[in-house]
Chains A and B, each alone.
Chain A
């Protein structure tokens, strides 16, 4: 029978009231303390044998992610929404989308890069939940929050009606997927030279993308189905980079014998 805290307290107080002498009361208190101690030890022993489940591990990992990155991502989307609402020209909207999507992607860098920057990879690789699980959990949590933020953003932007939703999706997700792909490629790479390397790659991509979007001839020449194909390819590239990195994560340690 499972008792609630309230019921336990009531039973203990009734039991306490029935004590006749101080000696009885003392014996009762000692017994109670002993029972609590034995129960705590039993709980500890039982918990010791158990391992954190994957869901619990995921929750624990989310606790260690600094939430300010999500706030910043939210701020970027808010700014983008405001720009879409106030800018009339679709050409400018495309440019804003390309740049902000890249920035939105780059904001995942600091959190995922933390262990490489802090040289904590060795300790993490030797743990029960190893590096791929740690990265996997962080990527999953980021993907979940980003999906939520983007769902709100797209709903709000589409409601405004300044820019077709289809265009919005293509022009945002394509640069976003490529930016994330470049970030992950750098993260899982053998030669890690800090976040700067990834930021430069993403910056270069951002400039290239803006040039494409601003080039009317090129932009108009690409038909809508081709845009969808390119979006699919960029999404495939991102999935490939993550899966490959997760499979070959040991290259981080194998790459350079003097790396620690």
Chain B
């Protein structure tokens, strides 16, 4: 089982949303990290055959996914960033509808729906109308619909958006549990979503794949670059201007800063072990990219 992306490009109105991306994925969880506008959604839409690449290829076990058509879609589970649903359907009706377009026969559909509602903790909500659900509940139904056909490839675009911390943990565990025999690609700009469960992390910026590898591999390049120091309140502005500050905490006697620097910023600064959040800050800065949202 291998999903291979080769020299992939996608251009929208003279904007290169995905630029020369190549990568090979096998079963396991892959975390796609990047700020809004990095090209994550465009890449995922191409992986779901929703849009065609301007250049390049995507293959599943050597076969072009756009040529495979419904044979590929049969293997696919997809949760889009903005998950649309029919507001007047109940949860059960909605899942039955999705099961039907996924080609599941009624016997299989009812069994899968029962299993998944239990897994996402929505058993008691199955008769409730979709429009009456909270944001987190809708997201859980979204995850369930993506899993209905027991997909070999699961593509989740910002799946934890709108989930509370408890639901986030539950979701992480669910993904981890399922990932042993399938390929899961999960895009997010929340580092903790992928920190514990991703086999490999892909960092995407301005349409390009900036770096990839296991968490340890990526963090190896950050060694001796994360410092913590205590500074007076009056100097915080200066540090924020001059360094990339990943954390700022007011304590008695001043402000404790955690920042990235090649050298010790002041004598007495303490070298800290890097985290993925530091890495994210290093690659992307503090830019949130709202202006390019969803490219």
Contact = CB atoms under 8 A, between A and B. Distances in A.
Interface string B37-57: 000011001001111100000
Contacts of A43: 107
A128 B73 contact: yes
Contacts, number: 105
B85 A120 contact: yes
Nearest to A63: B100
Interface in B67-112: 70, 73-74, 76, 78-87, 97-98, 100-105, 107-108, 111
B86 A123 contact: no
Nearest to B142: A123
Contacts of A120: 84-86
Given A126-B48, A128-B73, A253-B45, A57 B100 contact: yes
Question: Which secondary structure characterizes the binding site on chain B?
Answer: loop
Contact of A118 (B50, B76, B84, B294): B84
A151 to B, nearest CB: 29
A116 to B, nearest CB: 9
B103 A47 contact: no
Nearest to A258: B294
Interface of A: 43-44, 47-48, 50-52, 56-57, 60-61, 64, 114-115, 118-130, 134, 250, 253-254, 257-258, 260
Give the residue among B81, B84, B86, B107 with the most A Cβ atoms within 10 A.
B84
Contacts of B15: 257
A51 B104 CA distance: 6
A51 B103 contact: yes
Interface of B: 12-13, 15, 17, 41-42, 45, 48-52, 70, 73-74, 76, 78-87, 97-98, 100-105, 107-108, 111, 145, 149, 293-295
Contacts of B84: 115, 118-123, 260
B17 A122 contact: no
Given A51-B103, A120-B85, A260-B80, 15 more contacts: A44-B107, A48-B108, A51-B105, A56-B105, A64-B97, A122-B80, A123-B78, A123-B98, A125-B49, A128-B74, A128-B101, A253-B50, A257-B17, A257-B295, A260-B82
A128 B85 contact: no
A123 B145 contact: yes
Nearest to A50: B105
22 contacts: A44-B107, A47-B108, A48-B108, A50-B105, A56-B105, A57-B100, A57-B103, A115-B84, A120-B84, A122-B50, A122-B80, A129-B100, A129-B101, A129-B102, A129-B103, A134-B101, A253-B45, A257-B12, A257-B294, A260-B41, A260-B80, A260-B81
A53 B192 CA distance: 43
A64 B45 CA distance: 27
Nearest to A122: B80
Contacts of B295: 257-258
A129 B52 CA distance: 18
Contacts of B100: 52, 57, 60-61, 64, 129
Nearest to B295: A257
